[in-house]
Structure 1
């Protein structure tokens, strides 16, 4: 406890907060580049460009919830704000919507249907749920206020 009777910030909060901020900044950059039509310089095959630029508005909205919820959740975590839990929860809703679109409603390019892509998708799920659970635990412990 510190002088004000609040729990001290554990060292792992800073590590998880900074690493998650960097990870989620990558997602935010990808989202922004896609929405601004800046993928052409990335040397992607035409079918991948067509795929990313063809998302319907509802899928883009879910993607935005996922990306920005996680990014702002990481910032809130570093500020020790209880809003981190809510923001990570919003990002899970966004991830659900994006996954439903990608797996059920889109023409997922065969060139992207690889083991590496699948592992990356699983990593996104594991990290997002892990951040939600971690922030929930920190809130229960009184670290987030």
Structure 2
């Protein structure tokens, strides 16, 4: 029942913990979004509020899958489990689906301006790196 994994270098732990922290920030963002107060809604412009209230349930589900999946995968990475990689893949697919809706199926770029693209680009790049990192961990024997 013992594992034949190789001891990972220190930077593996640094990257793994950073990935976990990154994904926990995503969970916090989701929870703030899910439990938005009436006061916060009233502080939005009419266009922002229409975007928020008009979001389909599947987009909210993709948001939840992306952040909770990424967090679960990051925990698996810290625990050195190779199933982190497929969970990171599912998380990234969910994030991309959410961003496709946000960027191309709504008028959010008109409402928020060009900065609306920044977070989706960061999330996709970091998500792709997490998948690559987990793949490298499997290949190097750091994950079992």
From the superposition, tell whether residues 56 and 72 of structure 1 become closer, same or farther in structure 2 (CA, over 3 Å).
same
Distance in 2 (CA, whole Å) between partners of 1:74 and 1:120 is: 19
What is the CA deviation profile of residues 12-63 of structure 1, one whole-angstrom value per residue up to 9, with x for unaligned ones?
2211111111111111111111112248449963333442333101111111
Which residue in the other structure is 2:30 paired with? 31
**What's the offset of the Cα at 1:128?**
0.5
Matches for 1:93-104 after TM superposition, within 5 Å? 93-104=93-104
Q: Alpha carbons of 1:11 and 1:61: their partners in 2 closer, same or farther (altered >3 Å)?
A: same
What corresponds to 1:48 in structure 2? 48
TM-score (normalizing by structure 2): 0.85
Alignment deviations for residues 82-110 of structure 1 (CA, whole Å, 9 cap, x no partner)? 12101101111102211221123223163
Which protein has greater RCO, CA pairs closer than 8 Å, 6+ apart?
2
Q: Distance in 2 between matches of 1:120 and 1:97?
A: 14
Please tell me whether the aligned partners of residues 89 and 132 of structure 1 are also in contact (alpha carbons under 8 angstroms): yes
Distance in 1, matches of 2:64 and 2:73, equals 13
Cα–Cα, structure 1 residues 53 and 109, in superposed 2: closer, same or farther, change >3 Å? farther
Count of paired positions: 141
Show structure 1 runs of 4+ deviating over 6 A.
Answer: none
Unaligned runs of 5+ in 1: none
Contact 2:96-2:124 within 8 A present in 1 as well: no
- Residue 122 of structure 1 is matched in structure 2 by 121
Structure 2: stretches of 5+ with no match in the other structure: none
Q: Distance in 2 between matches of 1:44 and 1:128?
A: 32
Give the TM-score of the pair, scaled to structure 1.
0.84
